[in-house]
Amino acid sequence: MQLRNDIRNIAIIAHVDHGKTTLVDQLLKYSGTFRENEHVDERAMDSGDIERERGITILAKNTAVKYGDSTINILDTPGHADFGGEVERIMKMVDGVALVVDAYEGTMPQTRFVLKKALEQKLTPIVVLNKVDRPNARPEEVIDEVLDLFIELGADDNQLEFPVVYASALNGTSGLEPEDQQETMDPVFKTILDHIPAPIDTREEPLQFQVTLLDYNDYVGRIGVGRVVRGTIKVGQQVVVLKEDGSQKSFRVSKLFGFIGLKRIEIQEAVAGDIVALSGMEDLNVGETVCPADHPDPLPWLRIDEPTLQMTFVVNNSPFAGKEGKYITSRRIEERLLKQLETDVSLRVDPTSSPDAWTVSGRGELHLSILIENMRREGYELQLSKPEVIIKEIDGVKCEPMERVQVDVPEEYTGAVMESLGERKGEMLDMSNQGNGQVRIEFKVPSRGLLGYTTEFMSQTRGYGIINHTFEAFEPVIKGQVGGRREGVLVALENGKASTYGIMNLEDRGVIFITPGTEVYAGMIVGEHNRENDLTVNITKEKHLTNVRSATKDQTSTIRKTRDMSLEEALQYLSDDEYCEVTPESIRLRKKILNKNEREKAAKKK
């Protein structure tokens, strides 16, 4: 059995914010991939606007570095549970993983999720303990936690013998001991070359290439990125693509690209073990296998975990429809959703009985809200219903998604957090005192209990708490009401502009969401009521002018700070009879039935 010792394929996996993308930056820098004077952005792999703004990785991306005579293909993956589909599909492209763990925080819910996926694929792990320069770093304890996690997830003997490299990706230092930190990434490179298996050289056999990531280029059309599993592929070669339904389509490979650093370079051929991009076929999709026409041999289809959350996307029909967006028709919205399906493997779009509404299912609130944020930036207008968890029937029993939740809170807030998660049908699994005034508690909570919980958690812990959660499993549905909003809302009575006088009159009734001068329409939600019922209010009311002088005339009117909601907060806030209207410039909340009398009739019928 011949091996290709000149190449290694590795994925970098970790919990969110443990330093994957920063580590890739340093590997690129210290490998000599860039020229001495070349300018490279921080977190160079996070190329999307939203990725840069939020400091998170959303899409899996690949790069390659030269180290000595070897090429190391590196795949950077997202850390958020909502983008788990990105992690699952690239596991087929690599032979090993570098698990990055924060030397202070230790193993987190997402560490468990990504490691489980890697061990299931029998990949070889190495552990990079990052941020060893943090003041409270506890490297020895964290390595024990990692070992416990490996054992708990059923790692085999070879996987348990993982090597450990200690690093501080931010400072660009690494070493084989926590105290011995040198300004180099050599220990990481050497560990990868010594421990990650080299791909088997099968260049003489018939071609097999599986598409794992998709890209698009205006000049060459759709580009499929994947690994040559077997054989050789050349520019100009006639091949067939094997579809999921068993059909075949033939095409000619028009271009082949290899990767080096952040650039794509045109190459003429690639052999087994290489990660490359190819173009020439317009209708290429994730999971499909490219083979020679005389030897069709499909690879197993990529299995991706099912979505857990769904919401309805509806064409905008509010009184302000079409004022701010370019694309508002059902045809344009449907085209955009179907285009998203081509690259996002964990998304589902299903038609409903109405031609103006679609059920969109994803892996979580963040997954769906990033899609919505991208659409509004592109000029789309739409309305969204309250997110709902997907109930699945397993062996005749209705089951709902459960999440593993880990909270880190100062000691004095543990009571409030335990009580609120208990109300949301959370079951406590573990509690440990970190010794520095921080307590770490693990719960198992139904996903629907976590909808909208983050805001409540932040106010309970005065902003000092940290909450992380990841999908655990589908379990039988828990009876009774779980979570949900308790307060009613303030609803505008008529169209017009919100006035300072109108807002001041309502401040005793609750929290206002809009500022003076904002255009409102009848049925739009303008605030939160301090009681449980909804209240229709006149927020456009002006002060009557009289010819009587007022002693306090020169006083300036001051109003309390209004609550400004981000897209995620607005989606979490929704109730069953409400929509969130999203346009390129505004996020508004509204009642599904705008007319006050019709709303009251519908409520009575209920």
Residue 195 assigned to a binding site: no
CA distances from 70 to 9, 65, 194, 257, 476 (A): 11, 8, 12, 18, 51
Mean pLDDT value of segment 519-548: 85
* pLDDT tens digits along 73-95: 888 887 666 676 777 778 888 88
Q: CATH classification of 7-195 is 3.90.1070.10, yes or no? A: no
pLDDT at residue 509 is higher than 80: yes
- In CATH terms, 393-476 corresponds, of 3.40.50.970, 3.10.20.30, 3.40.50.2030, 3.30.70.240, to 3.30.70.240
Domain range list for the chain:
7-195, 208-292, 393-476, 489-544+559-573+590-604
Name the pLDDT band for 111 (thresholds 50, 70, 90).
confident
Mean pLDDT value of segment 281-302: 82
Report pLDDT for 1.
74
Torsion angle (degrees, nearest 10) of CA 370, 339, 385, 83: -40
Q: What angle do CA 264, 270, 274 make, to 5 degrees?
A: 75
Mean pLDDT value of segment 540-567: 74
Collapse the DSSP code of 190 into the 3-class scheme (helix H, G, I; strand E, B; otherwise coil) and give the result.
helix
Residue 131 assigned to a binding site: yes
Name the pLDDT band for 35 (thresholds 50, 70, 90).
low
Residue 22 assigned to a binding site: yes
* pLDDT tens digits along 220-250: 777 888 888 888 888 888 888 888 788 888 8
Burial of 285 (0-12, 13-18, 19+ CB in 10 A): middle
Residue 73 assigned to a binding site: no
Provide the β-strand partners of residue 454: none
* pLDDT tens digits along 180-211: 888 888 888 889 888 888 888 888 888 888 88
Task: Give the mean pLDDT of the chain.
Answer: 83
Report the CATH fold assignment for 489-544+559-573+590-604: OB fold (Dihydrolipoamide Acetyltransferase, E2P) (2.40.50)
Residue 326 assigned to a binding site: no
Residue 19 assigned to a binding site: yes
* pLDDT tens digits along 400-440: 888 888 888 888 888 888 888 888 888 888 888 877 778 88
CA distances from 379 to 40, 58, 164, 322, 333 (A): 31, 21, 48, 10, 11
Report pLDDT for 581.
92
* pLDDT tens digits along 433-486: 877 778 888 888 888 888 878 777 888 888 888 888 777 888 888 887 776 677
Termini Cα distance of the chain: 71
Least-confidence region, from 95-99, 163-167, 298-302, 376-380: 298-302
Name the pTM for this structure. Answer: 0.78
Report the CATH fold assignment for 208-292: Elongation Factor Tu (Ef-tu); domain 3 (2.40.30)
Mean pLDDT value of segment 35-46: 53
d(CA 105, CA 130): 10
